[in-house]
Each structure stands twice: as structure tokens, then as C-alpha cells.
């Protein structure tokens, strides 16, 4: 499992927008959401076509499908931190990046 953390709403928003540019047909299905206090956990499934470069990886035009978990810390109704866990090796294999 690959883990990444992004601080503040700007960090989260930038990563999402950059990834959507690389995968213009991106689909995310949220399976479950659990919340307690200022913590939220969401499980999801993501699919799309890796068409354009992202984070140093060349676009390949290959389709992918991965499952993952997001952990959020919320402060005053806003995302303050997001930790993302998913099978990065599986994703890279599906898009022929490795």
C-alpha cells in the first residue's frame, strides 16, 4: 500500500486537479464512509484511462481500476489533512509504467 499525505485544502485540491488532467475520464465510486469526531474514513474504487503525464510518469493510454482508502482530518468543516492508501504497484502495472 502506498501512503501519501497532503496538508491543507490547497494541497488536496492541487493533487486532485493534477490527477484529473492525467486521467480525463476518471471515475471514483465511494463504497463506504465512516466518521467520528474530526476524523473521516472513505473506501473507494477508482478507474479511468491514464492519458497524460502525471508526477513524472508518462501517459500511456492504458485503462486502470484500483481500490483505496482515504483518511481525512477535519477542522471547522474543512479538510486539514488527507492520507491516501492504495495499491500503487497494481496501478503502475495496469498502466504499463513498470
Taking 60 as the threshold, does the pLDDT of residue 1 lie above it? no
CATH number at residue 31: 3.10.450.50
Q: Which domain holds residue 24?
A: 2-94
Q: Which residue has the cell 465510486?
A: 29
User: Considering only CA atoms, which of 83, 82, 89 is closest in space to residue 66?
Assistant: 89
Per-residue model confidence as pLDDT tens digits over 43-92: 999 999 999 999 899 999 999 999 999 999 999 998 888 888 999 999 99
Taking 60 as the threshold, does the pLDDT of residue 40 lie above it? yes
Q: What is the pTM of this model?
A: 0.78
The number of distinct structural domains making up the chain is 1
Taking 80 as the threshold, does the pLDDT of residue 96 lie above it? yes
Residue 6's pLDDT band (cuts 50, 70, 90):
low
Q: Is residue 25 within 8 Å of residue 31, measured between CB atoms? A: no
Amino acid at each position: 500500500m502506498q501512503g501519501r499525505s497532503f496538508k491543507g485544502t490547497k494541497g488536496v485540491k492541487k493533487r486532485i486537479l493534477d490527477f484529473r488532467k492525467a486521467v480525463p475520464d476518471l471515475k471514483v465510486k465511494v463504497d463506504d464512509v465512516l466518521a467520528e469526531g474530526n476524523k473521516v474514513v472513505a473506501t473507494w474504487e477508482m478507474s479511468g484511462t491514464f492519458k497524460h503525464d502525471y508526477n513524472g510518469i508518462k501517459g500511456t493510454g492504458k485503462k486502470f481500476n484500483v481500490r483505496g482508502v482515504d483518511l481525512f482530518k477535519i477542522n471547522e468543516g474543512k479538510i486539514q489533512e488527507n492520507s491516501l492508501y492504495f495499491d500503487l504497484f497494481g496501478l503502475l502495472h495496469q498502466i504499463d509504467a513498470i
